[in-house]
Amino acid sequence: MKWCRVPVGGHALLGVADAGGSVELLRLVQSEQNSYTLEPFSRFALEKRGLALSLDWSTGKAGRASDQPLKLISSDSNGQLSLLKVSEAGPGLQAVATWQAHHFEAWIAAFNYWQTEVVYSGGDDGLLKGWDTRTPPTSVFTSRRHSMGVCSIQSSPHQENVLATGSYDEHVLLWDTRNMKQPLADTPMQGGVWRLKWHPFHHHLLLAACMHGGFKILNCQRAVEEKQEACTVALSHILPNALVYGVDWSWLYFHRLPQAQPLFPLGSFPCSDPGAKTADVAYNLKVKGQSPASSSNPLVDDGEGGTKIQGGGRLKAPCGSQLHASRLQICDCDLYLEAANFDINLLATCSFYDHVLHLWKWDSS
């Protein structure tokens, strides 16, 4: 599932690649005051019977030109890629092209956010491929640098020509897309890398879901700017008896309220944007049930109910059901941007076996 970064017809759109072999768009609509629901907008069935395995929007980089078409790329279990366009006024999803990309499952497909005619794909055949969607089905390049199935790809929305890929071979590779013969950096992850997500504000931070290796945050600044051979692991955390398959950053940011300003209760709307909810956020949110296990990096009790990663940063236990008052709030509008605290980050993980979605707060200071 992925949200489109730009509104379509005045609504937010959620794209879903499902096990029935379809790509579906859901539209977020207000059903009543302070309440929203997702309603079906459009559905496209892929050509062959199989599973839709991934999708990506062409709008991963902030904004889009008025004449730029809104596109989706999807991959499936038959090894095919499907390029779709979204008609904002017409029937919704329409097919542009479908082609055979891999011999086995095409685990992942992703746009180059800076050149949206270019897409990348990774398959269970261990191949990373690049495509010019104006001239499929001939690939622009084929890389065998990963030794096992390629299952995660994301173009940087902040830095042109920077691409991250991950594989069952337990490595994250950082690429300069102008030279796909050799990666800029190769970072071992101690787990198959199923998902990669660049931070929405910190251009150099990359979040990785590493299956039995838990999740990790990489600092890629030196790898990009100084040609360091591997990215720095800023945080590593293993969940017990679980495989971490999904990760994502929150696009909300924290800000400190002036002492004279009252705290708003959960669900209030102090921002000018009515869709920008705020909530009281605690420093000491507790998780019900089993506490987080130790990771491959030593974790020590910080005395405040969280865990500290040696080498920098602090990871709080997953947020439970209780919210305690603090002088911090979350906002997704620009009203308090000057007071934003970008050292505090929210991230989410989901895992197999334990079927748990965790919400974490990371203090990178």
Cα angle 27, 33, 36; round to 5: 25
Residue 21 shares a structural domain with residue 148: yes
Please check whether residues 203 and 61 belong to one and the same domain. yes
Q: How many CA atoms lie within 13 A of 42 on its CB side?
A: 18
For residue 256, the model assigns a pLDDT of 58
Q: Tell me the pLDDT of the chain (365 aa) as tens digits.
A: 999 988 888 899 999 999 999 999 999 999 888 899 999 999 999 877 899 999 999 998 866 666 678 999 999 999 999 999 998 776 789 999 999 999 999 999 999 999 999 999 999 999 999 999 999 899 999 999 999 999 999 999 999 999 999 999 999 999 999 999 999 999 999 999 999 999 999 999 999 999 999 999 999 999 999 999 999 999 999 998 899 999 999 988 776 555 544 433 333 223 333 333 333 333 222 333 344 443 333 333 333 433 434 345 677 666 543 333 344 455 554 545 555 777 889 999 999 988 999 999 999 88
Question: Do 89 and 215 lie in a common domain?
Answer: yes
Residues 109 and 217 in one domain: yes
The whole-angstrom separation of Cα 311 and Cα 234 is: 7
pTM given for the model? 0.82
Among left, alpha and beta (phi > 0; psi -120 to 50; other), residue 79 is left
Residue 67 has a pLDDT of 66
Q: Does residue 157 share a domain with residue 83?
A: yes
pLDDT at position 314 is: 73
Question: What CATH code is carried by the domain that includes residue 51?
Answer: 2.130.10.10
Count the Cβ atoms, other than its own, within 10 Å of residue 98. 18
pLDDT of residue 32: 83
Q: Which of 219, 249, 279 is the last residue of a domain?
A: 249
* 216 and 262 in a common domain: no
Domain that holds residue 24: 2-249
Find out whether 209 and 190 touch, Cβ atoms under 8 Å: no
- Distance CA(198)–CA(166), nearest Å, equals 13
64 and 155 assigned to the same domain: yes
Q: What is the pLDDT of residue 255?
A: 63
Is residue 99 within 8 A of residue 106, CB to CB? The reply is no
Mark out the alpha helices in the chain (DSSP H runs): 221-225
pLDDT of residue 65: 62
Query: 251, 252, 253, 257: which is closest to 326 by C-alpha?
Result: 257
In the numeric block, the tokens 């609504």 are attached to 11
CA angle, 212 then 157 then 170, to 5°:
20
The C-alpha atoms of residue 348 and residue 332 are separated, in whole angstroms, by 17
Farthest CA pair distance, the chain? 63
pLDDT in the model for residue 343: 84
In 3D space, the residue among 106, 114, 107 whose CA is nearest the CA of residue 68 turns out to be 114
**In 3D, which of 237, 217, 243, 207 has the Cα closest to residue 307?**
237
- What's the structural domain count of the chain? 2
Question: Residue 159 — φ and ψ, nearest 5°?
Answer: -125, 120
Task: Tell the residue number behind the tokens 């934003």, with chain if given.
Answer: 340
Residues 232 and 130 in one domain: yes
Look at residues 187, 220, 249 and tell me which one is the last residue of a structural domain.
249
pLDDT for residue 337:
54
Do 84 and 186 belong together in one domain? yes
Q: What pLDDT shows up at residue 49?
A: 80
CA distance 116 to 319: 37
SS3 190: coil
Q: How far apart are CA 49 and CA 51, in angstroms?
A: 7
pLDDT digits (tens, 9 = 90+) for 25-64: 999 999 888 899 999 999 999 877 899 999 999 998 866 6
Do 239 and 350 lie in one domain? The reply is no
Q: Are 101 and 23 in the same domain?
A: yes
Asked if 66 and 11 sit in the same domain, the reply is yes
**Domain boundary residue, one of 202, 224, 249:** 249
